[in-house]
Structure 1
Amino acid sequence: MNRGLARTLYFRPANDNRGKSVENLHLRAALKHFAQHGMAAADHARRQAVAAAEEGDRQTFEWWLEICRALDRRMAHGIEGSAKVGS
């Protein structure tokens, strides 16, 4: 690989969270959640969101969905459309 290409690739961001951005409030909460749960944090947030959806608690579902989105966009997208939550 030539140096020019290597430099170009070096400065590309590695984040896969394109599209919908995460607010600072949710990002801070996600980082704290990650500190508590480590690599299982996204799955834990997903389970919390699903439990809130099953209870019909829209506000709590949205909170945990955003935490999950900050940690793992694809996982959050997977539950976003499938969860049936009351208003």
Structure 2
Amino acid sequence: MTVHFAAARSATHSPLARAFARRAIARAANDNGNPDADGRNEALLQASLRHFAKHGLAAAAEARTRAEEAFFAGDRESYDWWLGICRTLDRRMAEEISRRKQG
């Protein structure tokens, strides 16, 4: 019985290897948005992380409560700040607050 050697196919020339290869992502996604010139987004992110570290999973609800308190007190700047923290932690909750306050 004779033994024949069959060399392995090159992965670069193999139709199956090309079909199963993952395509490279053309461009990386960046969800940071457009930071303001004064770096407010960076400060908001840092404050959101500190708030989350302090309150854990209830951080978004706590931020919502503080935003509502500021809204009813007439403090627009604090309202925007707490709404931004809430939006960073839970976008849907923040959108619900915005809709209720506008309507």
Alignment TM-score, normalising by the size of structure 2: 0.60
Match of 1:62 in 2: 80
Equivalent positions of 1:4-83 (< 5 A) are 4=22, 23-83=41-101
- Over alpha carbons, which structure has the higher Rg? 2
Which structure 1 segments of 5+ residues have no match?
none
After superposition, the Cα gap between the structure-2 partners of 1:62 and 1:51, relative to the gap in structure 1 and judged at 3 Å, is same
SS across alignment from 2:72: helix
Count of residues in correspondence between the two structures: 76
Q: Distance in 2 between matches of 1:36 and 1:25?
A: 17
List structure 1 segments (4+ residues) > 3 angstroms apart after TM superposition. 2-5, 17-22
One-letter amino acid of the structure 2 residue matched with residue 63 of structure 1: W
Percent identity reads: 42
After superposition, the Cα gap between the structure-2 partners of 1:83 and 1:18, relative to the gap in structure 1 and judged at 3 Å, is farther
One-letter amino acid of the structure 2 residue matched with residue 66 of structure 1: G
| 1:9-32 C-alpha deviation (Å, 9 max, x unpaired) | xxx97xxx7978781111000000
Which structure 2 segments of 5+ residues have no match?
1-19
Instruction: Identify the structure with bigger relative contact order (alpha carbons < 8 Å, sequence gap 6+).
Output: 1
Alignment TM-score, normalising by the size of structure 1: 0.70
Root-mean-square deviation (Å) = 2.6
One-letter amino acid of the structure 2 residue matched with residue 39 of structure 1: L
